[in-house]
Structure 1
Amino acid sequence: MAKTYPFSAILGQEEMKRALMIAAVDPAIGGVLIFGDRGTGKSTAVRALAELLPPMRATAGCRYHCDPDANGSGCAECQGRGHGGPLEREIISVPVVDLPLGATEDRIVGALDLERALTQGVKSFEPGLLARANRGFLYIDEVNLLEDHIVDLLLDAAASGENVVEREGLSIRHPARFVLVGSGNPEEGELRPQLLDRFGLCVEAVTPEDVETRVEIVRRRDAFERDGSTFLAAWQSQTDELRRGIVAARERLHEVYVGDAILRQASQLCVRVGADGLRGELTIVRAARALAALQGNHAVVVEHVREVAPAALRHRLRRDPLDESASTVRIGRAIEENFRA
């Protein structure tokens, strides 16, 4: 089995790492979009996130690993079995599923199990990637290069939390609730606005310019590739600490207080930058709450808002023909003006 580079060993890219951990604490934030240069650790960070996620309870034998405590919101198979008493449970790893750029519609949504149909004459559904990603993370590298019909499928599933398949005589409906994580290089194409709006946070991964930082990154990567087992062992304690932090933050999340003053500042900031819709405020509040929980705080303060606001608003700005400065610069300027006022 291929070894995964540890999240704790990733040097720099603090905004990207913070956004991924925030999404791990509160999936309701809506996922993370990572744009940046090639070779800046985007895919490495997302795949390493799987090692930080605490195991979850699932219904034993369920193809969609439904929550056994979901009170009737699982798949049809689990609901049918649930009438006979409590469902059997198992502990599984949170799925982090890759959606390849060239994946077909059948591979994503599922299709008729042809082998079983031909050999046994039974019409059976073969689940796709959306089924595998249920209650986990769906990762799309080069997300800005997805074909339009694939984007439509993802939008439907993300909006409804279900995957509906009506084809080849099949009529299947199963849960498909996942945290969407995408990465890409903005120079290779823009993302459709409808899909862009589905991401809660948008972060930038930049190539480090400091020589010492670059040297240390290369040194760590080289050590990992030469002796992965030793390298993983050396970083295991830091990885365990990050995992414990995510578990504690999840337990603390609903106790974190968000005052009216914070809500007002978030709204004022969104108005100042001209953010589309109200998702900006909601994302700022949710992300700030998750960050406060990660840091062990019991209330959101201004500093939490300042830290998450760029990622929450970067992809929600209207084009300003009189101000062609980058969105990050505009947001930073608005933050200084908003919190200075």
Structure 2
Amino acid sequence: MSTPYPFTAIVGQDDLRLGLLLNAVSPAVGGVLVRGEKGTAKSTAVRALAALMPEVSVVPGCRFSCDPASPDPACPDGPHADAAGVPRPARTVELPVGASEDRLVGALDIERALSEGVKAFEPGLLADAHRGILYVDEVNLLHDHLVDLLLDAAAMGASYVEREGVSVRHAARFLLVGTMNPEEGELRPQLLDRFGLTVEVSASRDTDERVEVVRRRLAYDDDPEGFAARWAEEEGALRERIAAARALLPRVVLGDGVLRQIAATCAAFEVDGMRADIVMARTATALAAWAGREEVTADDVRQAALLALPHRRRRNPFDAPGLDEDKLDQTLDEAGGDRGQDDDDPDPGPDGGGDGGGGGG
């Protein structure tokens, strides 16, 4: 198995790294859609994230990665007797653009089901990704029907397969990451809304930063193991920070004043439905946990809006991406925000400090 490029060695791309890390802290955020040109470390960052995810304990022999502490009662490989779990690293499962429906959700052997009464089920990629990361490169080129199935499973935490009156259900909870180049086509607004966060990435125009990207990438290509070893301490610190934020998350308080700010922001940017409000609340909570705080602040709400609303707001075809930050600040102030005063120890950045990490790919 090849050595992945270290997450902490990615240069710049702060929003990309933060969006991924928030989903690692709280998968309930709903995944992240990364939009940008080729060669901007999109795939590199996603593949590197798996190395930072906590190990998972699985039932031995279960093809659906059931947790021995709370096995899925509907697991096709169940029921599971009490047994010690086997630890394994979190997986990154990649969904090819040309994948079939059976490859995604799994395949039922109808002949055996009808003749023998046995639900012979071959797991698909959704089962493989359970309790890990599901990565869809060029998600905008995936067939709409498959995108619907994918997003339904991500929202429900389960996958259903029905063929000729025979049905199978299994758990499918995963961190969903999609990447796309907008020049190759857009996703339908209904599908965009199903991604929790969106991040726009582009190549840096700063000469020094570009030099550092090339320097680190060449060093990695020459000696992947040695390069990864030089970043092992930073990787370990970030892994511990993710675990600490996950442990803190249930204790984070989302006050009524913050909820009013979230509602006012979503109303001001005329987003459809209530999904944006819910995603903003979950993102702001994850941001507070990531910063080591037990209370959500107005600054968390502002950062959550910048990640959760750009792909949901109503805009004309030629409008620039992103949000009007002056309008956002005004809305937060009018809703009672007191930004910058609630947090005496602001979050130093996605990787916990330093110069913003290191190099792309």
| TM-score with structure 2 setting the length | 0.85
Q: Which residue of 1 aligns with 2:188?
A: 192
Secondary structure of residue in 1 paired with 2:305: helix
- Residue 15 of structure 1 corresponds to 15
Identify the residue that residue 231 of structure 1 maps to in structure 2: 227
1:68/1:211 CA distance change after superposition, 3 Å: same
What's the counterpart of residue 297 of structure 1? 293
Give the deviation of 1:263 after TM superposition. 1.0
1:178 and 2:171 equivalent?
A: no
Between 87-96 and 194-203, the greater mean CA deviation after superposition: 87-96
Q: Distance in 1 between matches of 2:192 and 2:329?
A: 26
Cross-structure match for 2:4: 4
Give the paired residue count.
329
Deviation at 1:39, TM superposition (A): 0.5
Partner of 2:259: 263
Q: Aligned to 2:39, what secondary structure does the other structure show?
A: coil
Write the deviation string for residues 302-321 of structure 1: whole angstroms up to 9, x where unpaired.
Answer: 11122221111011111358
- Equivalent residue number for residue 97 of structure 1: 93
Return the structure number with greater relative CO, CA threshold 8 A, min gap 6: 2
Using the alignment, how far apart are the partners of 1:339 and 1:173 within structure 2? 43
Give per-residue Cα distances to partners, 1:244-282, cap 9 Å, x unaligned: 000000000011122111111111111111111112221
In the TM superposition, residue 339 of structure 1 has moved relative to its aligned partner by 3.1
Structure 1 residue aligned with 2:348: none
Deviates more, 1:60-69 or 1:10-19: 60-69
Return the alpha-carbon distance in structure 1 between the equivalents of residues 71 and 141 of structure 2.
39
**Partner in structure 1 of residue 33 of structure 2:** 33
Rounded to whole Å, the distance in 2 between the matches of 1:176 and 1:13 is 29
Point out the structure with the larger helix share. 1
Shift of 1:240: 0.4
For 2:268, what is the secondary structure of its paired residue?
helix
1:130 paired to 2:153? no
Q: Deviations over 1:105-158 (max 9, x none)?
A: 2211222579x99xxxx9832211011011222110000111122123213323
Aligned pair partner of 1:339 in 332, 340, 349: 332
Structure 1: gaps spanning 5 or more residues: none
Gaps spanning 5+ residues in structure 2: where?
Answer: 335-361
The answer for the alignment partner of 2:346 in structure 1 is none
- Note the C-alpha offset of 1:72: 5.1
Distance 2:206 2:152 in 1: 43
> Separation in 1 of the partners of 2:70 and 2:190?
30
Mapping of residues 33-182 of structure 1, within 5 Å: 33-70=33-70, 73=73, 75-78=75-78, 80-82=79-81, 86-112=82-108, 124-167=120-163, 171-182=167-178
Cα distance in structure 2, aligned partners of 1:164 and 1:339? 41
Secondary structure of 1:181's aligned partner = strand
| Partner residue in 2 for 1:319 | 315
Structure 2 CA distance for aligned equivalents of residues 3 and 72 of structure 1: 33
Rounded to whole Å, the distance in 2 between the matches of 1:201 and 1:214 is: 26
Distance in 1, Cα, partners of 2:72 & 2:66: 10
